Amino acid sequence: RRRRRDQVVADSWRYRVSWKSLPDVKAGVASGAWLLVVPAECPEAGQVAEALRAQGMTLHTLEIDESDAGREILASRLRESLEGDAPVGVLSLLAGVEGAHPGCPDLPAGLGLTLTLIQALGDAGIEAPLWLVTRSAVATGSTDQLDSPAQAAVWGLGRVAALEHPQRWGGMIDLPDRLDRRGAALLCAALSGLDDEDQLAVRGNRLLVRRLVRSSPAAADLVPAWTPRGTVLITGGTGGIGGQIARWLAGRGAEHLVLTSRSGPAAPGAEQLRAELTALGARVTIAACDVTDRDALAALVREVEADGPRIRTVMHIAGAGVLVPLADTDLLEFSDTAHAKIVGAANLDAVFDRSTLDDFVLFSSISAVWGSGDHGAYAAANAYLDGLAEQRRARGLAGTSVVWGIWSPEDGGGMAANLAEEQLRGRGIPFMSPRLAINAFQQVMDRDESVVVVADIDWERFVPVFTSARPSPLLSEVPEVARILATEAAPPETGGDDSSVRLRLTGLSAGERQRALSELVCTQIASVLGYPGPAAVDESRAFRELGFDSLSAVDLRNRLSAATGLRLPVTVVFDYPRARALAEHIGAMLFPDQGPAATADPAEAEVRQLLNSVPLFRLQESGLLGELRKLAESPDSDSAAACGDSTDSIDELDVDGLIRMAYDNNDL
């Protein structure tokens, strides 16, 4: 019974990435002027630009070469290229740059340049959504081949950028080798906006979108149990997870285990681990070897195979890094984190580019599949591993990437690990039992799978946090997520007569009602952030400045929903990013027939109400924000009129003042 129960749990942890064709994609042209950022001397860039212009897009092209690879220089060039005109979108082809980055030889050039572009756009104050273009960075089906793990790494970076900078994120689109007229039309349609889809691929006459789906295992009696043969090489073999995998392999009858790490026998607990494995019947070699040094790795392989059975299985577990927001990292920090995973995997791939290998297993992370804040380098490096596994399969070689959730520390991990576990559980990512994780790993090895996700996710907690700033169609076909999203998509409640807040506020003047709602919102903010009381909350400061993150934003949403009886969307804190704006929005929901609260000018109240009803990213995606900016800067606009001046209609308001209010309400 316990085995059956464990199997049910392990099965519930299994997911995979699938690609779904979008039916009836209508041709569309992304409006307004776009900034096309391309590498210098790139013929493909010209072909893409020509194809997009033929579809009616307006493009301004900025060429980037090695001299522009610095963050400050690129930000300056971006400002100069715009000449005061804000683009409605930015389209980057930098991901396709091959070779090593000029400033960081261990970093793929396209990955490093894309990171710098993301940072420089923020430094230059460009809020237009960024779209990244790759070629053959994803495999959309059994007949499609992934040719560039380095460009797959850019997708990992992009998924983190989408979470850290949701208001200026567009998406990622993978193109075929040749972009024909139909492909260009599909690319334009994607850029014009397709129901929040931000991970797409153009293949033939179809536009495909990326989805996470459940992966059902085959019946146990139909799959032979996997057992190791010959020698097994494990990078990071003396670490926590490496040690547990080594014990499992020894228990499965592994003949010879070679455990590598930078410290080798000097690593903490290495000799104790050797004794345990030897007692289980395995021959054990613990070697000090940095797998990012290809010569040292090749020498170790020659030495091991000269003195025993050939290496038949490779497991790449090594790799760790510092977690830093993209805006706060530099290329050297980023490269250091990505180094062990990317360079180590590339070296292993080169040394074991042979058909005599039974298994080539890479340990990846869920941060690569759907992104995680502060995990930019780590997500990119693990996305490289996923791409490498698929590329090896396309080359006819062994290749498996297991995309893991978070393993519980073997020894409990102490107070720090307990605190981390509690924080992650609050975000919907419980720690996984190592015993059950290894059961799931056995299943992956039995089935000889390519890329599979094995993670324990509490979707009820995870989805509201993950989608609090931006929708995620990627998750929409997981059954639990579909149910949650259907509930969220239901029309918001507007506070019926049984709403105690509504009854309490009925009869108050508009100003008194607004003050009461502001106090309610500030009271809940104080509770979430641990402030002494509502008076300590500055209503005019943005929630991000007050210390809100995705988890606390969802907490505030839940508290306000409970306090008001309203069903508020998970994005409400990001759509109305100040206490005052949020209180006004709640007032409009509770009293839809009474109009906005009184302000200094009724016309201003009308404008604020309209602006509060449209999230900023919708203005950006539609191209209206750029048009408003152009009007504001036009010499024909009547800038002498102040926003507070009396007007008879919204059409008579000064556009410059309208923009200022948009900035204030939407935290631009």
DSSP string, 70-119: SHHHHHHHHHHHHTTPPPSEEEE-GGG--SB-SS-TTSBHHHHHHHHHHH
Burial class for 507, CB neighbours closer than 10 Å (0-12, 13-18, 19+): exposed
Q: Read off the pLDDT band of 564 (50, 70, 90).
A: confident
pLDDT at 265 over 50: yes
The answer to whether residue 213 scores a pLDDT higher than 90 is yes
Residue 45 has pLDDT above 80, yes or no: yes
- What confidence category does residue 609 fall into, taking pLDDT thresholds of 50, 70 and 90? low
pLDDT score recorded for residue 625: 58
Provide mean pLDDT across the span 152-180: 94
pLDDT for 554 beyond 60: yes
Instruction: Give residue 195's region: left, alpha or beta (phi > 0; psi -120 to 50).
Output: left
Judged against a pLDDT cut of 80, whether residue 466 lies above it is answered with yes
Residue 398 above 70 pLDDT?
Answer: yes
In the prediction, which pLDDT does 615 show?
52
What mean pLDDT is predicted for residues 464-489? 88
Where do the domains of the chain lie, and which CATH numbers do they carry?
A: 493-598 (1.10.1200.10), 602-668 (no CATH)
CB 444 within 8 A of CB 404: no
Residue 550 has pLDDT above 90, yes or no: no
Q: Among 172-181, 443-452, 648-657, which stretch is predicted with the lowest mean pLDDT?
A: 648-657
Q: Which two tokens stand for residue 600?
A: 């200094």
Q: In the prediction, which pLDDT does 379 show?
A: 95
Query: Shortest CA distance to 560 belongs to which of 536, 586, 541?
Result: 586
Mean predicted lDDT score pLDDT of the chain: 84
Instruction: Name the residue with higher pLDDT: 610 or 425.
Output: 425
pLDDT of residue 499: 56
d(CA 119, CA 433): 38
Taking a C-beta distance cutoff of 8 angstroms, is the pair 302, 345 a contact? no
Structure confidence at residue 219 as a pLDDT band (50, 70, 90): low
Residues 6+ away with beta carbon under 8 Å from 1 = none
Q: What is the pLDDT of residue 664?
A: 43
Residue with tokens 């500055």: 538
Which of 203-217, 280-294, 552-566, 646-660 is the least confident region? 646-660
Torsion of the alpha carbons at 126, 131, 137 and 143, rounded to the nearest 10: 180
| pLDDT of 429 higher than 70 | yes
Q: What is the pLDDT of residue 358?
A: 95
Dist CA 599 CA 617 (whole Å): 26
Q: What is the pLDDT of residue 497?
A: 44
DSSP-assigned letters across all residues of 572-620: HHHHS-BHHHHHHHHHHHH-TTS-SPP-S-HHHHHHHHHHHTS-HHHHH
User: Span 301-316, mean pLDDT?
Assistant: 94
Arithmetic mean of pLDDT, 241-245: 94
Q: Which residues pair with 400 in a beta bridge?
A: 361
Residue 51 pLDDT grade (very low, low, confident, very high; cuts 50, 70, 90): confident
- Predicted confidence at residue 629, as pLDDT, reads 54
What pLDDT, in 10s, does the model give residues 583-607? 999 988 888 876 554 443 444 545 5
Amino acid letter, 271: E
